[in-house]
Amino acid sequence: DTEVTQTPKHLVMGMTNKKSLKCEQHMGHRAMYWYKQKAKKPPELMFVYSYEKLSINESVPSRFSPECPNSSLLNLHLHALQPEDSALYLCASRDWTSGRGETQYFGPGTRLLVL
Amino acid sequence: GNSVTQMEGPVTLSEEAFLTINCTYTATGYPSLFWYVQYPGEGLQLLLKATKADDKGSNKGFEATYRKETTSFHLEKGSVQVSDSAVYFCALTPQTGANNLFFGTGTRLTVIP
């Protein structure tokens, strides 16, 4: 099973709202990722967690705040977003421990609209 | 540096036509190579992969061969279906640094009945 789940599927929020995106995997993967994908573009890496610790932050604005409460869960907390933050947010995970563990498995994404 | 160059789209084919989407890469050493597919309104799904030279990845009738000599990983399918309409991304992970997944720009495929 290579399933990564994400909730909610769709989210509409105002610029003053606070919301959270959730990602879950039960494959025992110890690396988890957040990506942002704008229309007709490839995904762009935002954050990487390795063994529940933030290892990469690709200069993402502080209005995006990631959290990894345990090895299966990854959250992305959103606050004071701008309309240009509207995008598809994808979560991915990778098996850090098995061989090269080179494959990232993606979830279905949360489509975010900021009004 | 690491990069992926992918055939520009969009590509429109009739059902049962042969598909080729070109992908070339730049990387040091031996990267792992991937094709991901994104159906309308969905996330990315791993379609196939190859981790060493001359490996052939295959899935759902799609194939791609890791060619070190030409630094290519072209995607092929002998007979496309309407359900294959999607965006296809070629990607690589460097030999060192598997947290980094470098994507091509994506190729939109539309298959018409």
Q: For chain B, give percent helix, strand, coil, nearest 5.
A: 5, 50, 45
Name the pLDDT band for A98 (thresholds 50, 70, 90). low
pLDDT digits (tens, 9 = 90+) for B34-84: 999 999 989 999 999 999 999 999 999 999 999 999 999 999 999 999 999
With beta carbons under 8 A apart, name residues in chain A contacting B103. 42-43
- Residues of chain B with pLDDT > 90, as a percent, come to 84
Å from B20 to nearest chain A CA? Answer: 20
B45 interfacial to chain A (CB closer than 8 Å):
yes
**CA atoms A34, B87, B75, B21: torsion sign:** negative
Determine contact, residues A37/A105, Cβ cutoff 8 Å: no
Residue A99 has pLDDT above 70, yes or no: no
- For chains A and B, what is the number of CB pairs under 8 angstroms? 55
- Residues of chain A with pLDDT > 70, as a percent, come to 93
Is pLDDT larger for residue A101 or for residue B40?
B40
Is pLDDT larger for residue B95 or for residue A48?
A48
Residue A58 has pLDDT above 90, yes or no: no
Out of A88, A105, A107, name the one closest to residue B46 (CB).
A105
pLDDT digits (tens, 9 = 90+) for A71-89: 999 999 999 999 999 999 9
Å from A85 to nearest chain B CA? Answer: 18
Q: For chain A, give percent helix, strand, coil, nearest 5.
A: 5, 55, 40
Residue-level pLDDT at B46: 95
The two most distant CA atoms of chain B are separated, in Å, by 44
A64 interfacial to chain B (CB closer than 8 Å):
no
Mean pLDDT of A10-30: 94
Residue A102 has pLDDT above 90, yes or no: no
Å from B94 to nearest chain A CA? Answer: 9
Residue-level pLDDT at B23: 98
Is pLDDT larger for residue A59 or for residue B75?
B75
Q: Which residues contact B40 (CB under 8 A, 6 or more apart)?
A: B85, B86
Out of A40, A43, A111, name the one closest to residue B103 (CB).
A43
